[in-house]
Structure 1
Amino acid sequence: MDGQKQSYYINIQSNDIFRDPYEGDWNFKIEATESQVNALERLFDRNEETDWESYFRSHIPYLEYHHQPQNREYDQRMLLIYTMLFYLGDEKTRSHIRKMGILNEDPAYIQHKSF
């Protein structure tokens, strides 16, 4: 049943993925297979780990943000998360992400990518 898409509701700040729109606050609606949602969960999990690493490193004053490899990785993962949300999202989700202006690629191209 992995190939069947279902609706999911994403809270980007808390990294929550809901199956029901009434489970919690959400920002984006997507239509995704179970494996696509699992990939998104892994990206969220890795970003949470990086958040903790950054928190602890932030207490060392001589380490600058842009010199930390985990910060670049975090930024790249966030871009990938938004790309996946754009690709899997409904029109409202895609419109919101377009307005954010964070994707460098042509959104029409992104729609044809496979995750």
Structure 2
Amino acid sequence: MRVLADLEAGGERKPYYVSVQAGQILEDPQAAAYELEVSLNEREHIKLRELFDELSSMDEAEMFHFSHSPFGAASDSQINAGYDGLIQQVYKKLYEYGTDETKRHIESMQLL
């Protein structure tokens, strides 16, 4: 019964090692520096990857905006609010899927 529930929820959970700064979700903790450890099934992994992709796109849009359009349509506060919202979503997911140590670390950051 447990196996069936796991499959319906996106499969078996596996440990992943996350670097928010680099936007990486690693299977091998030796592959690169990471800050947080989480346990994800396939569906959760995809969702977290999508959030990191959005964050990366936001970074690129922000760089383009400031380098090409100093008086563009979006204000600094609007751009920052969008970025902050995505960071909040990322850390909420990391907290939800995180190990106890990851949860303590995120709590200490006082982001949520």
Q: TM-score w.r.t. structure 2 length?
A: 0.83
2:90 is matched with which residue?
Answer: 81
- CA deviations on 1:12-45 (whole Å, 9 max, x unpaired) are 1111111111111110000110110100000111
How far 1:50 sits from its partner (Å)?
1.0
- CA deviations on 1:22-75 (whole Å, 9 max, x unpaired) are 11111000011011010000011111111111001113333541033xx42221
1:95 is matched with which residue?
Answer: 104
- CA deviations on 1:68-105 (whole Å, 9 max, x unpaired) are 3xx422211110110010111111110110000010xx
Number of residue equivalences: 101
Measure, in 2, the Cα distance between the counterparts of 1:67 and 1:15.
22
Q: What are the equivalent positions in structure 2 for 1:1-115 lying under 5 Å apart?
A: 1=7, 2-59=10-67, 60-63=69-72, 64-68=75-79, 71-103=80-112
List gaps (5 residues or longer) in structure 2.
1-6
Higher helix residue share: 2
Please tell me whether Structure 1 or Structure 2 has the larger radius of gyration of its CA atoms: 2
Residues 84 and 67 of structure 1: CA distance in aligned 2, closer, same or farther (over 3 Å): closer
CA-atom RMSD, angstroms? 1.4
Q: TM-score w.r.t. structure 1 length?
A: 0.81
